[in-house]
Amino acid sequence: MKKVMSILLFLCLLWTSAVSAAGLPAPSGPVTDQAGMLSAQEAADIGAKAAGERYTFHVLTIPSLDGADSAAYATEVYQAWKLATRDVLVLLSAEDRQVELNFNNPGLQSALDDWSASRGGRTGSGAITELLDTYFIPYAKDGDYAGGIYALMAGVNALGTASPAGGGTAGGSASGAVTGGAGTGGVNTGGAGANGSAHSGEGAAGGSGAGGQSAVPDSGALPGSTAAPDAGSGMGRAVLIGAAVLLLGALLAFALTGLQRRKRLGARHAALAELLVQANRAGESLQPFQGVVQGKTAEMVDGIAKRLSAQLVAISAMQADSPSALPFYRLGALKAAIAKLEEAEQAFRASLAEEEQRIAQVSDADRHVKERITELKAETPELEDGLRQAVKESGYALGEIAEDLEELAGETAEADRLELFDPLAAQQIAEEAQERQERIERDLKDVDIYDDKLAQFPAALEAARVQISGIIGQNQLQNMKIKPYDSLAAARQKAETAQAPLQNGDMDQVRAIFAEADGLRNEAIAATQRQAEIRQSNRKDLEQVRRRLEQLTARQRDLTGQTAAAARRFAARFTQATSEQLVQAGMQLEQQERDIRQIADWTEDARGEYDKAREALDALLNAQEQTEQTLERASSTLGVLEQRLAAVQTLLVQGQEAADEAQSLLRRNGLSGGGRFDPLRLQEYGILRSGLQQQPIDLDELEAAGRSYMGQISVFAEEARRLVRQKLQREERERRQRMSSGPPPFGGPGGHHSGGGNSSGGSSWGGSGGGGHSSGGSSWGGGKSGGNSSGGSKW
């Protein structure tokens, strides 16, 4: 097994290395816009202009670099796409706001270095960054990525006249032949060679440069590589390896599944065998009772034995019918057999647990019933002594308790007779006797308690009467409608009925009688206290509704006056509904005043109808709440009328300001020769002025005129902005045309430059300070060996 796992791990590693490049995006033409930074038309236009006389541009946009180095990522894409020497890659990362320029053309790098040096700039990736900052970044900051790409393509095409070939240029490239030959002529800077082999060559007049294979334009081979592997054969091998890994994995999983199921099947058979043993043991535990016990116990024991016997037969049949050694490759049969055994095992186990509980019940009764009977026999004499003592002290016959004692003695004797041959029946009788014994003990204790309670109840009633009288006196409740003293009288009569059952020992009835008598007494006190609280609450709330009535009446009168004034200013339809609401509110307030007088009468101590007053007060409070809501709606309606009028008046000022602002915009941009727009001459302006001065005012008409007035001014303002945009766009096109001529050519004979290898520069846009430069990729002039040249920056 370890050997198989090692082989599988090795194959997985091969497959991983074969598909590691799958994370890079695949090209979809000259423009691959994965980040959606360009419109479809912009991408098509850029693609049409990507192939120039000397260079072919490839644009790739991605959502994010996900922390990767931009120069390294661009170089990987350049190589994965198998771009040639004349190809230039432009990489844009939307989230990182990063642009990267990557190529493998020593001639282009030389011309770019000379152009940067003439501006006092750097060489290598620094020159690429300066190129990006000059042509791409200004457009990117404004979100015009297509414009930036156009300008960058024009700038690169205008750089010098250097040949895109990777061999020595007129200026004396440091790039040597495959065998490491020397560069030709000029000053060798010792720059980096083409990406690939590490052969070295010595320049004609300077330090040694790292040699590499000369790049051939449009050859399709990677610059500097010694031999490009066949992509088709490599991918084919990867596919075959992957298929083999998948097949081996599937076979291994199949085998492991089959072996695991066989193991589970064996475990289920073992569980059935354990259940068989458990059932046998349960049957053996019944042997001491079989043929000996009688009655209920015999009936239960025989039933348990029959069911256990049937279960043993069923388990044995299940073991015989279910195969225990199925082949591991029969997954379906193994699964079905496992499911069948698990279901049967669950049923057998549950049934066996029930039988074991029944056996435990029989065994428990057999062990403990004798102890219970003995305890009953020992405690019965004590109860008999307690009864004799209670009869002697109270003078009552207590016949009910005496009868319970006789029944307790009979139940104890019957349990004792059945204990040996029918322990279940004896246990049931003993439990009933135990409950009777506990009840007798409680009744004997309560005889003294309720005898005292009966004697003291008149005093308790008198104390309640005094308490109620005090509450009435303190709160002037002499005329209240409830009758607490009647409840006290009913409690006294109820308590007197407890004498007979108490003498007979019927303590359940005695307890019920005194529970009712105590309830009547306590309710009389509580009802009187509630009347006192209601009286106080009624008086407090009555003063509150009086004050609120005064406030609502004053507000209703004020709003009525405001509505009358508004009716003179505005058309009638704007105030009619409000007037009707206020009239209705006035009628409600008059009814509330009458209700207050009635409630005050009920609340007087001479009437004492506190409950009726409370009910009327609650209804009055709700009515006042509704009246206040009506007045609030009327006030809101009047406020809206004033707001609408103020809004119409504001339109006159806003319209003039908007017209003046548009005129000023035209003047600032030299476009004011077409005459002046005067909003005062509009027909709607006249309607607004006259409508505001005449009464009654029709707000609907004025608002319609105001919308039309502002609409015409908005049309004028939008036209002014359109004229300004057209002028600015025209000026922008002229500026682009001037920039399309590019910088003066550089990179001719006599220059010096770094060696071959992919060149890449980057820039970024946005952020504070206009975007800081960040460079990556290979360096030039420092004696480092091959690799794509790269530089970048942020916008």
Beta bridge partners of 101: 90, 791
Q: Residues 536, 475: contact at Cβ < 8 Å? A: yes
Quick: pLDDT tens for 282-333: 988 888 888 888 899 999 999 999 999 998 999 888 878 877 778 888 888 8
Look-up: residue for tokens 């009086």? 546
% of the chain surpassing 70 pLDDT:
80
Check residue 757 and give its pLDDT: 52
Q: How far is CA 256 from CA 244, 263, 331, in A?
A: 18, 11, 11
Tokens representing 477 are 């409740």
What single string gives the DSSP state of each residue in 256-323?
Answer: HHHHHHHHHHHHHHHHHHHHHHHHHHHHHTTTTTTTT--HHHHHHHHHHHHHHHHHHHHHHHHHHHS-
- List the domain range (segments joined by +) for residue 148: 30-223+756-794
Considering only 73-87, 284-298, 407-421, 762-776, which range has the smallest mean pLDDT?
A: 762-776
Mean pLDDT calculated for residue range 124-138: 93
Q: Say if residue 134's pLDDT is above 90.
A: yes
- Alpha-carbon distance 379 to 388, whole Å? 15
Check residue 795 and give its pLDDT: 73
What single string gives the DSSP state of each residue in 510-523?
Answer: HHHHHHHHHHHHHH
Check residue 329 and give its pLDDT: 84
Q: What letter would DSSP give residue 498?
A: T
Check residue 607 and give its pLDDT: 87
Mean pLDDT calculated for residue range 360-369: 90
303 and 405 assigned to the same domain: yes
419 and 318 assigned to the same domain: yes
208 and 265 assigned to the same domain: no
Q: Residues 590, 556: contact at Cβ < 8 Å? A: no
Beta bridge partners of 777: 789
Question: What is the distance between the terminal CA atoms of the chain, rounded to a whole angstrom?
Answer: 57
Amino acid at position 528, single letter: T
Check residue 340 and give its pLDDT: 86
> Which residue, among 654, 646, 630, has the nearest Cα to 577 in the 3D structure?
630
Tally of domains in the chain: 2
The CATH number of whichever domain residue 213 belongs to comes to: 3.10.310.50
Global model pTM greater than 0.75: no
- Alpha-carbon distance 691 to 231, whole Å? 84
- Alpha-carbon distance 360 to 297, whole Å? 12
- Alpha-carbon distance 230 to 220, whole Å? 13
Q: Band the pLDDT of 37: cuts 50, 70, 90.
A: very high
Q: Which of 174-183, 191-200, 478-487, 744-753 has the highest mean pLDDT?
A: 478-487
- Residue 548: inside a domain: no
Check residue 760 and give its pLDDT: 55
* Burial category of 554 from C-beta neighbours within 10 Å (exposed 0-12, middle 13-18, buried 19 and up): exposed
- Residue 423: inside a domain: yes
311 and 191 assigned to the same domain: no
Helix (H) or strand (E) holding 250, with range, is helix 231-284
204 and 287 assigned to the same domain: no
Q: Band the pLDDT of 767: cuts 50, 70, 90.
A: very low
Check residue 288 and give its pLDDT: 87
Q: Hey, what's the torsion of the CAs at 623, 627, 628, 630, to 10 degrees?
A: 140
Q: Say if residue 553's pLDDT is above 90.
A: yes
> Which residue, among 429, 759, 702, 460, has the nearest Cα to 570 in the 3D structure?
702
Mean pLDDT calculated for residue range 587-609: 92
Check residue 781 and give its pLDDT: 32
Helix (H) or strand (E) holding 462, with range, is helix 423-475
Check residue 595 and give its pLDDT: 95
Q: Which domain-ending residue is among 445, 474, 496? A: 445
Q: Which domain-ending residue is among 445, 469, 495? A: 445
Amino acid at position 630, single letter: T
- Alpha-carbon distance 399 to 558, whole Å? 85
Contact partners, residue 715, CB within 8 Å, separation at least 6: none
Q: What is the sign, positive or negative, of the torsion defined by CA atoms of 115, 61, 41, 728?
A: negative
Q: Say if residue 163's pLDDT is above 50.
A: no
Q: Say if residue 201's pLDDT is above 60.
A: no
Tokens representing 275 are 């259940």
- Residue 212: inside a domain: yes
Opening angle at CA 723, ends 717 and 728, nearest 5: 125
Q: Say if residue 754's pLDDT is above 90.
A: no
- Residue 515: inside a domain: no
Considering only 5-14, 569-578, 631-640, which range has the smallest mean pLDDT?
A: 5-14
- Alpha-carbon distance 383 to 494, whole Å? 31
Q: Say if residue 118's pLDDT is above 50.
A: yes
387 and 432 assigned to the same domain: yes
Q: Which of 51-55, 247-251, 547-551 has the highest mean pLDDT?
A: 547-551
Mean pLDDT calculated for residue range 651-659: 91
Contacts 24+ apart (CB under 8 A), 253-256: 254/329, 254/331, 255/328, 255/329
Q: Residues 766, 749: contact at Cβ < 8 Å? A: no
Q: Band the pLDDT of 240: cuts 50, 70, 90.
A: confident
What single string gives the DSSP state of each residue in 326-338?
Answer: --TT-HHHHHHHH
Q: Say if residue 717's pLDDT is above 70.
A: yes
Q: How far is CA 96 from CA 99, 138, 185, 760, 792, in A?
A: 9, 17, 43, 17, 11
326 and 209 assigned to the same domain: no
Q: Say if residue 598's pLDDT is above 70.
A: yes
Is 29 strand, coil or helix?
A: coil
49 and 190 assigned to the same domain: yes
Q: Say if residue 200's pLDDT is above 90.
A: no
Q: Say if residue 279's pLDDT is above 80.
A: yes
Mean pLDDT calculated for residue range 383-399: 92
- Residue 127: inside a domain: yes
Q: Say if residue 175's pLDDT is above 70.
A: no
Check residue 791 and give its pLDDT: 64
Look-up: residue for tokens 């006190």? 525
Contact partners, residue 382, CB within 8 Å, separation at least 6: none
Considering only 77-81, 109-113, 216-220, 624-628, which range has the smallest mean pLDDT?
A: 216-220
Longest Cα separation, the chain:
145
Cis, bond preceding 164 (omega within 30 deg of 0): no
155 and 298 assigned to the same domain: no
Quick: pLDDT tens for 294-304: 899 999 999 99
Quick: pLDDT tens for 425-448: 999 999 999 999 999 999 999 999
> Between residues 670 and 34, which one has the greater pLDDT?
34
Quick: pLDDT tens for 499-549: 999 999 999 999 999 999 999 999 999 999 999 999 999 999 999 999 999
- Residue 440: inside a domain: yes
Per DSSP bridges, beta strands 773-774 and 789-794 are antiparallel
% of the chain surpassing 90 pLDDT:
57
Quick: pLDDT tens for 58-91: 999 999 999 999 999 999 999 999 999 999 999 9
- Residue 337: inside a domain: yes
- Residues belonging to the chain: 795
Q: Band the pLDDT of 364: cuts 50, 70, 90.
A: very high
Q: What letter would DSSP give residue 171?
A: T
- Alpha-carbon distance 203 to 753, whole Å? 13
Please state, rounded to an integer, the average pLDDT across all residues of the chain: 82
- Alpha-carbon distance 113 to 3, whole Å? 58
Q: Band the pLDDT of 789: cuts 50, 70, 90.
A: low
> Between residues 13 and 340, which one has the greater pLDDT?
340
Contact partners, residue 776, CB within 8 Å, separation at least 6: 69, 70, 71, 72, 100, 125, 760, 762, 790, 791, 792
> Between residues 201 and 96, which one has the greater pLDDT?
96
214 and 266 assigned to the same domain: no
Q: Which domain-ending residue is among 445, 474, 500? A: 445
Check residue 605 and give its pLDDT: 86
99 and 185 assigned to the same domain: yes
Considering only 8-12, 351-355, 364-368, 484-488, which range has the smallest mean pLDDT?
A: 8-12
Contact partners, residue 169, CB within 8 Å, separation at least 6: 106, 107, 110, 162, 163, 753
208 and 273 assigned to the same domain: no
Q: Residues 92, 37: contact at Cβ < 8 Å? A: yes
Q: Say if residue 217's pLDDT is above 90.
A: no
Q: Say if residue 409's pLDDT is above 50.
A: yes
Half-sphere exposure of 194 (CA within 13 A, CB side): 32
Check residue 265 and give its pLDDT: 84
Quick: pLDDT tens for 522-533: 999 999 999 999
Check residue 674 and give its pLDDT: 57
Amino acid at position 258, single letter: G
- Residue 664: inside a domain: no
Q: What letter would DSSP give residue 50?
A: S
Q: Band the pLDDT of 495: cuts 50, 70, 90.
A: very high
